[in-house]
Structure formats: C-alpha cells, structure tokens
Amino acid sequence: MALCLITAGSHQRAAAAVSPAKPMRLIVSSSPGGPNDIIARALVQPWSDALGRTIVVDNRAGAAGVIGTEIAARAAPDGHTLLLGFQGPLAIAPSLIGTSYNSLTDFLPISLLVTAPFVLLAHPRVPAHSLKELIALAKSRPEKLNYASGGIGIGSHLSMELLLHVAGARMVHVPYKGAGPGLTGLISGEADVMFAGVSAALAHVRADRLRALAIGGTKRSALLPELPTIMESGFAVTAASWYGVLAPRHTPQPIVSRLHRTLVDVLNTAVTKARLTELAFEVSGSTPEEFMALIREETSTWSKLVADLGLKGKT
C-alpha cells in the first residue's frame, strides 16, 4: 500500500508540474548580453508555445556562472525551474575554484542546445592586427597587457590561459561579472584583449569598436570569413563553448522526457535554426545521455588542464 501511495504521489506531482498555471523559470547564470542570455531569449517564446506554458528568463549573474548554477541545483525538482548551463560553471569551475554542486550528479541534462567558437578581440589601441602580432607584443611586454573574461573559471578564461601557455606568453587576467560586462570593459579600454562569443562581438567588430584577430573554431566563421582560425595563425588551440538545458536532479522522468521532446522539436524548426545560426551558434540538439557524456568528457579535459597549468585557486 505504501508503495502504491508513493507511486501515485509521484505521478500527481509530475502532472501538477506540467500544469500551465505556474510559469517556468529558466535560470541564465550571467548578465544580460552574454551568449547564454542571447540563446535563452531566442528560445523562450517558441518553447513556451510548444509547452503551452510561460517561460521566464531569470538572470542570476555572479562568480562566473556559479551562483546561478548553485540556485538551479538547489531548486525544487518539480519542472518549474531549469538551468541554461554552459561550459564554465559545469565543467571548469568545479576543479578550478570548487563548487557546492556536483555537475555530474546534481543535474539531469535535458539537451545540448548549441556550440559556438570564441573570437579573439583586441581594443583598437592595441598595436596588433593579427594573433601572431599580439603574441609577439605580449612576449615583448610580459604581463603589461591584460585580458578580460566573463569571470574566473569560464571558457573564455581557460581558453586564453591555454593559448598563452602554448604561445609562451604572459598577460594579466581581469575577470568581470559576466561576458557582457567584460565586453563593455574591453570596448571602454579597461582591458586590452578578450575571447568572446561571435554573437555578442559581431556588431562591435563591424563598427570598428573592436578588432577581431582570430576565430577559435576548427574552421572559419561564415560571419567573419576573412578571419583566420587560431590554428591557421600558427597555434594548436581551439577555443569554443557549449550551452544546454538541465533540470535539478530528482525531477520526475515524465517531465524530463516532455521537456526534451519539445525542446529538440523547437531547435529543429527552420525559424529557430535560422535565428541561432545568424547569431553565430551551431545548433546541436542531443539526447540527455549525449549531453551527460559531453559534460563528463569536458570535466575531465578541463580538470587535467587546471592541474597541468597549476591554475587551481589562481585568477
């Protein structure tokens, strides 16, 4: 009898959670203007329509995405709160700075959304018009140049550390409270260079407020076709990020399944694909299992890099 009551209660909670009466909250663990915020705002309306529920974007910036990720990890597993997670707080921060959550056990992946290369940007005052020139300048002025990031432990931070390590150069890290504020700092001249998402940087590059030096993907970007990759520039480094949706652990499987099905359907519509592609994202809908495998692989890769470069606890 007890088992029957527990099972019935679980089904009732699952049914209540998919009721359209209460809005869903999609936590974006960065300030407005960052890549994951841009992705969230491109998705919430079509996904809301598909679910028949209102989805509200909830920006919870701080600690390079860790604060918003912590909030999502502690949320009730009832389908009302989801996380638009990304590489930094899920795969890098746990080994670099330590987190109160375990990315591999405290979340249920729903689907990978998109992947995106970083673009290496410089303030126009920096006398370098290519990546090779930037590295030569950095070597001639050890720790005189600085680089911005969206915070300690996100992909743009570790990607720059990897590039500097491979190139044998040194710069000073200036972490900001999110990719958007970091980009603002670069435009204002507070910082010299930065890895950023193409979607957030493109307008500034085209308006000559920032200079693009290299693209971090394995191939050139269709939006900046004249820009060489980092590898083409002579350095064996790729710099890219990924973004996906996760639910708190213990969220009932019927809810996870419905969220996955509707989200992948939305990602595969021509309108959504076109919108995300024009924002320089590559749509990469996945199964929950595939997304979990990616998080495991990335966690292993970045924890090894943190150990090899002695970065734990450093800025």
Cα-Cα-Cα-Cα dihedral sign, residues 213, 217, 223, 225: positive
- The pLDDT tens digits for 221-264 are 988 999 999 999 999 999 999 999 999 999 999 999 999 999 99
Mean pLDDT over the full length of the chain: 90
Asked if residues 69 and 85 have their Cβ atoms less than 8 Å apart, the reply is yes
Amino acid identity at 25:
R
- The pLDDT tens digits for 58-117 are 999 888 889 999 999 999 999 999 999 999 999 999 999 999 999 999 999 999 999 999
Equal CATH topology for 2-115+241-309 and 117-215: yes
The CATH class, in words, for 2-115+241-309 is alpha beta
How far apart (Å, rounded) are the C-alpha atoms in residues 73 and 82?
9
What is the CATH T-level fold of the domain 117-215, as seen in this structure?
Answer: D-Maltodextrin-Binding Protein; domain 2 (3.40.190)
Domain residue spans of the chain: 2-115+241-309, 117-215
Q: Which pLDDT score, from 0 to 100, does residue 147 have?
A: 98
Question: CA separation (Å) from 219 to 51, 210, 237, 296?
Answer: 36, 21, 12, 25
Q: Which two tokens stand for residue 111?
A: 């689907």
Lowest mean pLDDT among 32-36, 84-88, 196-200, 230-234: 32-36
Asked if residues 51 and 44 have their Cβ atoms less than 8 Å apart, the reply is no
How far apart (Å, rounded) are the C-alpha atoms in residues 3 and 70?
32
Strands 211-215 and 81-86: unpaired
Model confidence at 42: pLDDT above 70: yes
Is this model's pTM higher than 0.85 or not? no
Amino acid identity at 293:
A
